Structure formats: C-alpha cells, structure tokens
C-alpha cells in the first residue's frame, strides 16, 4: 500500500465521448456507435492518462504492429455498415459467445479442481479427528488463503501486459513478462515463508488454543513448498490464459487431482505421516501442476513464439512491474479480507454460534457460485486485453457488454433457484432447524449478493485487462472499508439486526463498488484505451532495443 500517498488523478480510467453527436447511453448500440475506428497507420498517440510501465513523456511514437494475432473478424462485422444493426449485432454476438465460453468453461474447471484438491486434503485430515480437522481448516482457510490471494493478485499483472502484448503481436514480450513476474512472486514468497515458520506463536497471539495452534502449525509447516509453487504457477497460468490456452491447464488440474487423492490416502493412512504428510502431498500436487504446465510451454507449438528461453531482460524494469503487481494484489486482497473481517465481526454478536453458522453456510454458497464468476472474470480479462492490444476498440466494448450480460444472466438463474430452495438449502450443511431458519432469513440478501457477484468480478476482469488495478484498489478501500464494514457494524449492533445487519453491510459495499465500476466501464473511451495499450507495448520494445544495442 506504498502508493497511498501518490496523486490519484492519473489512476482514474479515462472517461470520454468520442463524438459529440452521439449519446452516452450504456446500450450496445450507443456504446459501439461512439467508438471510432483506429487508424492503423498513425503512430502518434498522445499522452497516457494511466501510465503503468514508464513515464508517458518519454515516448510518444508507437510503431505499427507487425500483424494481427487476434482475429479482426469481430471488428469487421461491427464496422460493416452494409448490414442492419440487428444483423450486425446478431453475427457479432454468435461469434463473441463462442470465444467467451471457450475461455470461461475450462477456467471454471481449473479453479474448481484446484479448490477441490485443497478441500480433499482437509477432508482426509478430518477423518483423523476433530483436532486435525480444526488444524487443517485453520491452515487452509486462514494462513494459506492469505498467501493464495496475495500471490494470485500479484500474478494478475501478467494478464494485463501479456494479454495486450499478445494482441499487438509482440510475442517475445510474453516470455519476459512471465519470467519477471515469477521473479517478483518468488521474492515475495520468502517473507511469507517466515509467517508459516512462526505460525504457532502468531496463532496463539490471535487467541487460538495452544493445542490447536500446535497442530495447525505442523500442517502449515508442510505447506511451505506450496507458497513457492503458487509463485511459479500463477504467472504461468496467466501467461497461458493471455493466449487463450486454457484447456491444457484444465486437463492438468484434473490429472493431478486424481493423483492427489490416492497419494494423500497412502501418505496419511498407510505410511501414517498424519497432518504433516497431508500438507506435503498438497504442496507436491501444486508443484506437479507447475511442472506439467511449464513442460507444456516448452514442448507445445502454440507457445514456441511466446517462449523463447530464459532472458536477462527479466531482471530489468522490476520496480515498475512491482508497482503494477502490488496494485493487483491489493485489489484482490481487499475483497478477500472484506469477507473475512465481516465473519470475525459476527463472532462478537450476542449469540455468535447461530450467526457464524448461518454466515458460513451463506458464504459457502456464494463461494460456489463465485467459481462461475471466476471463469467470466478470466474471460473478460483475456478478451479485453487481447482486443486492446490488437487495436480493436469496437470489439473491446462489445466483448465487455457480452461477458457482463452473460455472467449476469447465469447469476440471475442461480439466484432464482436459491430463492425457491431457501427453506431447504441449509440442510445440505446442517440438520439444525435454528440455523436453517437463520439461513432462510438471509437468503434474499444472499440472492442479491449473487446477482452482484455476476457483475463485479467481470468488471474487475475488465479492469485487469485495461490495467486499472490501482484505481480499483482505491474503489475497494472506499466501498468496502469506508462504507461496507461500518454499515454492517452499525446495523448489526446499534440497530440489533444481527447476522442480517452484517450481511446487509456486505451487500451495501458490493453494490456501491459495482455501481462505480459499471459507470466507469461503460463511459470509457475504448479508442483511448487502445492507444494506451499500444503505448505500453512500444515502450517495452524501445527498452528492449536499447538494452540489446548496449
């Protein structure tokens, strides 16, 4: 959070209208009509309003891209005035939906299987006893999720830069960005390792019993190799996603999951290694994922132009890359911590057991649906960054509308199903009628949260594709911590709404954040964003040529 003292004006995504005669209504027709075609011959792009990798004053000339790696078919359809608006958008919609679900589907599978790998270890630990279950839960949902969120957030910088570079056909940039991100994440993993090593006194410090802290620290100690696997995995994963290579990651995740299950049983029950053994197998599984994906990169023809070997250029420009990575991490962590803080607040209620159980059930359901949103989030990031890098403003704006609408429709269906099953859904988790009634009362708020979750993660993906991570981090601070948390505390304790008050605060913060991101996204000048993407690519190329000449 070192950038809190900096000037915020340059972090705000640009809001323009390209044509004074065109309304700024956020409909597909008006959005696309306001986007003017880019002149591919022009190399004067003016100033950056949101610099990411260098000062915009140092470079104003952008060379023409060598060609298009991202298909221009969608851009041509949207620019074809010989077709009626209906036929134009119908053809464009069918084309975009195919691209969208080819990206979103496998990504959902990857995140779901990775999550199930961790959960399966937790289940195996639970069969050793209640103490072991508590230790594994504390390790997985407490310490481990902190490292996961931090490193995943930092890794999303690769999505912005690799996606735009791939669209601009600057293939060799992707391999350098991958290496640069891996270096930064591995360095970040070192201080995280010490948190794992000294987890026992830290857990005792926050109020855990000595018995649980001792067992949890043993499990956490076995997860130390996993930190470095995260640091290597997330850049590789984003590197592949930027090129729309998602199926191999899904196949690898599935294969490792089915290896993980019998291996965990063997180590924990046959060899009797207990908690430590389970954690070490989990770490090993993550390293197998990393190795398999990297072997794919080395051997696949699809990555032979984007991976050209290790380069000393990865050690240049680390500070600028670190700033973008940190902004990405803060953006994601602020959202993760928001939910955890509200759960902690629930523990202070007069009858915390029922409130915590009800919130736990609702959080779990929201997490399941969120897995779908994660797929759309990744698809939005890839589609936006690729189209911006390729110089397709109309395609970018259309992709934003389609992915946001698709995610919202899926979330709406899930919310309706949830409302109809509100009196029964909690029995999946518990047989207690008191908890079931509490969940039933929270279900309308939960359904509204699911609707918001159908929009907000997608807009976050758009922000990553554009490079707005720092701006979204500030939005999260304001909406979540200046509005959501205080509102939840006020409603829960002063107005005595209990768990419903806490969740109402959560919804209030999410609604405010979603409204701001919607307003900013659908008033963005995509022509300007294309220019900024080209500027970033050219600035990197200029630095590369200068380094090679020296």
Share of the chain above pLDDT 90, in %: 34
Contact 193, 326 (CB under 8 A): no
DSSP lists the bridge partners of residue 61 as: 44
Alpha carbons within 13 A on the beta-carbon side of 354: 17
- Look at residue 255 in the predicted model and tell me its pLDDT: 95
Distance CA 8, CA 5 (A): 9
Contact 365, 422 (CB under 8 A): no
Write the DSSP string, 423-455.
Answer: TTGGGGT---HHHHHHHHHHHHHHHHHHHHHTT
Cβ contacts of 386 within 8 Å, gap of 6 or more:
70, 163, 164, 166, 167, 242, 244
What pTM did the predictor assign?
Answer: 0.75
| pLDDT surpasses 80 at 15 | no
Q: What is the DSSP letter of 61?
A: B
In degrees, to the nearest 5, what angle opens at C-alpha 366 toward C-alphas 244 and 256?
45
243-267 average pLDDT score: 94
**Most confident of the ranges 239-243, 281-285, 426-430, 473-477:** 281-285
Closest CA to 158 of 168, 148, 166, 169: 166
Q: Where are the beta strands (DSSP E) in 38-132?
A: none
Distance CA 492, CA 514 (A): 23
How far CA 32 is from CA of 37, 192, 241, 461, in Å, comes to 10, 46, 26, 20
Contact 220, 199 (CB under 8 A): yes
359-363 average pLDDT score: 80
Closest CA to 170 of 534, 543, 550, 547: 534
Exposure pattern of 245-271 as b/e (b: 16+ CB <10 Å)?
bbebbbebbeebbeebbebbbebbeee
Q: How confident is the model at residue 236 (pLDDT cuts 50, 70, 90)?
A: very high
Q: What is the pLDDT of residues 282-302, one digit of tens each?
A: 999 999 999 999 999 999 999
Alpha carbons within 13 A on the beta-carbon side of 29: 6
| pLDDT surpasses 70 at 265 | yes
- Look at residue 540 in the predicted model and tell me its pLDDT: 53
Quick one: tokens of 171? 């293939």
Contact 289, 252 (CB under 8 A): yes
Distance CA 499, CA 504 (A): 8
- The most distant pair of C-alpha atoms in the chain lies apart, rounded to whole Å, by 74
Alpha carbons within 13 A on the beta-carbon side of 444: 4
| pLDDT surpasses 80 at 93 | yes
Cα-Cα-Cα-Cα torsion 417, 419, 422, 424, nearest 10 degrees, comes to -20
SS3 content of the chain, % helix, strand, coil (to 5): 80, 0, 20
- Look at residue 419 in the predicted model and tell me its pLDDT: 92
- Look at residue 470 in the predicted model and tell me its pLDDT: 83
DSSP lists the bridge partners of residue 281 as: none
- Look at residue 429 in the predicted model and tell me its pLDDT: 66
Distance CA 545, CA 75 (A): 31
Quick one: tokens of 505? 């605060």
Q: Is 205 exposed, middle or buried (0-12, 13-18, 19+ CB in 10 A)?
A: exposed
395-419 average pLDDT score: 93
Alpha carbons within 13 A on the beta-carbon side of 177: 34
How far CA 100 is from CA of 73, 107, 407, 514, in Å, comes to 15, 11, 10, 21
- Look at residue 32 in the predicted model and tell me its pLDDT: 47
364-386 average pLDDT score: 86
| pLDDT surpasses 90 at 469 | no
Q: How confident is the model at residue 62 (pLDDT cuts 50, 70, 90)?
A: very low
Q: How confident is the model at residue 228 (pLDDT cuts 50, 70, 90)?
A: very high
Quick one: tokens of 388? 């911006």
362-384 average pLDDT score: 85
Alpha carbons within 13 A on the beta-carbon side of 252: 24
Of 411 and 136, the structure prediction assigns the larger pLDDT to: 411
Q: What is the pLDDT of residues 205-227, one digit of tens each?
A: 877 778 888 888 899 999 999 99
Distance CA 168, CA 534 (A): 7
- Look at residue 399 in the predicted model and tell me its pLDDT: 93
101-107 average pLDDT score: 88
Contact 404, 455 (CB under 8 A): yes
Q: What is the pLDDT of residues 501-537, one digit of tens each?
A: 988 998 999 999 999 999 999 899 999 998 888 887 6
Sign of the Cα pseudo-torsion (259, 261, 262, 264, in order): positive
Q: How far apart are the first and last CA of the chain?
A: 35
| pLDDT surpasses 90 at 549 | no
- Look at residue 158 in the predicted model and tell me its pLDDT: 82
Least confident span in 6-10, 151-155, 263-267? 6-10
- Look at residue 67 in the predicted model and tell me its pLDDT: 37
Instruction: State the residue for tokens 């089915």.
Output: 258
Q: Is 431 exposed, middle or buried (0-12, 13-18, 19+ CB in 10 A)?
A: exposed
Q: How confident is the model at residue 316 (pLDDT cuts 50, 70, 90)?
A: confident
Instruction: State the residue for tokens 């999946």.
Output: 428
Q: What does pLDDT average to over the chain?
A: 81
Q: What is the pLDDT of residues 16-39, one digit of tens each?
A: 443 434 333 444 444 444 454 444
Cα-Cα-Cα-Cα torsion 399, 401, 402, 404, nearest 10 degrees, comes to 110
161-178 average pLDDT score: 86
Distance CA 433, CA 427 (A): 9
Least confident span in 102-106, 379-383, 423-427, 441-445? 423-427
| pLDDT surpasses 50 at 66 | no
Distance CA 508, CA 490 (A): 12
Distance CA 465, CA 468 (A): 8
Write the DSSP string, 252-264.
Answer: HHHHHHHHHHHHH
**Most confident of the ranges 8-12, 84-88, 255-259, 388-392:** 255-259
- Look at residue 543 in the predicted model and tell me its pLDDT: 52
Of 437 and 43, the structure prediction assigns the larger pLDDT to: 437
């Amino acid at each position: 959070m070192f950038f809190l003292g900096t000037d915020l004006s340059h972090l705000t995504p640009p809001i323009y209208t390209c044509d004074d005669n065109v309304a700024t209504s956020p409909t597909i027709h008006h959005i696309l009509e306001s986007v003017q075609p880019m002149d591919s011959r022009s190399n004067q792009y003016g100033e950056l309003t949101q610099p990411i990798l260098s000062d915009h004053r140092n470079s104003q000339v952008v060379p023409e891209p060598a060609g298009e790696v991202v298909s221009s078919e969608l851009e041509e359809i949207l620019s074809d005035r010989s077709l009626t608006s209906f036929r134009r958008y119908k053809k464009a919609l069918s084309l975009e939906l195919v691209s969208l679900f080819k990206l979103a589907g496998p990504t959902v599978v990857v995140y779901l299987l990775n999550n199930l790998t961790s959960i399966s270890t937790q289940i195996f630990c639970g069969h050793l006893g209640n103490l072991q279950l508590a230790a594994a839960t504390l390790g997985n949902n407490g310490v481990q999720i902190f490292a996961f969120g931090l490193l995943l957030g930092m890794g999303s910088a690769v999505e912005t830069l690799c996606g735009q570079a791939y669209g601009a056909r600057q293939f060799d940039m992707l391999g350098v960005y991958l290496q640069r991100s891996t270096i930064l994440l591995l360095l970040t993993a070192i201080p995280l390792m010490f948190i794992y090593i000294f987890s026992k006194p830290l857990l005792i410090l926050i109020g855990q019993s000595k018995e649980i802290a001792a067992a949890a620290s043993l499990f956490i100690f076995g997860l130390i190799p996993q930190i470095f696997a995260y640091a290597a995995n997330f850049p590789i994963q984003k590197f592949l996603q930027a090129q729309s290579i998602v199926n191999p990651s899904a196949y690898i995740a599935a294969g490792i999951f089915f290896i993980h299950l019998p291996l965990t049983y063997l180590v924990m029950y046959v060899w009797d290694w207990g908690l430590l053994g389970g954690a070490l197998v989990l770490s090993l599984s993550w390293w197998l994922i990393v190795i398999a994906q990297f072997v794919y990169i080395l051997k696949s023809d699809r990555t032979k132009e984007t991976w050209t070997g290790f380069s000393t250029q990865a050690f240049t420009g680390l500070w600028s890359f670190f700033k973008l990575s940190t902004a990405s991490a803060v953006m994601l962590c602020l959202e993760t911590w928001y939910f955890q803080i509200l759960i902690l607040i629930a523990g202070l209620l007069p009858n915390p057991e029922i409130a915590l159980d009800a919130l736990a059930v609702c959080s779990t359901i929201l997490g399941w649906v969120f897995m779908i949103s994660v797929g759309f989030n990744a698809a939005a990031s890839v589609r936006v960054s690729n189209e911006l890098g390729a110089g397709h403003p109309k395609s970018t704006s259309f992709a934003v509308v389609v992915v946001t609408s698709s995610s919202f429709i899926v979330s709406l269906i899930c919310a309706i199903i949830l409302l109809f099953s509100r009196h029964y859904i909690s029995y999946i988790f518990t047989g207690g009628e008191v908890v079931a009634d509490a969940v039933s009362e929270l279900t309308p708020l939960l359904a509204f949260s699911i609707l918001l979750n159908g929009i907000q993660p997608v807009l976050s993906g758009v922000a990553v594709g554009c490079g707005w991570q720092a701006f979204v981090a500030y939005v999260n601070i304001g909406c979540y911590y200046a509005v959501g948390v205080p509102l939840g505390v006020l409603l829960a304790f002063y107005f005595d709404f209990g768990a419903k008050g806490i969740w109402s605060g959560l919804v209030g913060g999410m609604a405010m954040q979603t409204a701001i991101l919607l307003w900013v996204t659908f008033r963005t000048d995509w022509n300007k964003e294309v220019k900024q993407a080209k500027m970033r690519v050219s600035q990197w190329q200029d630095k590369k040529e200068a380094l090679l000449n020296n």
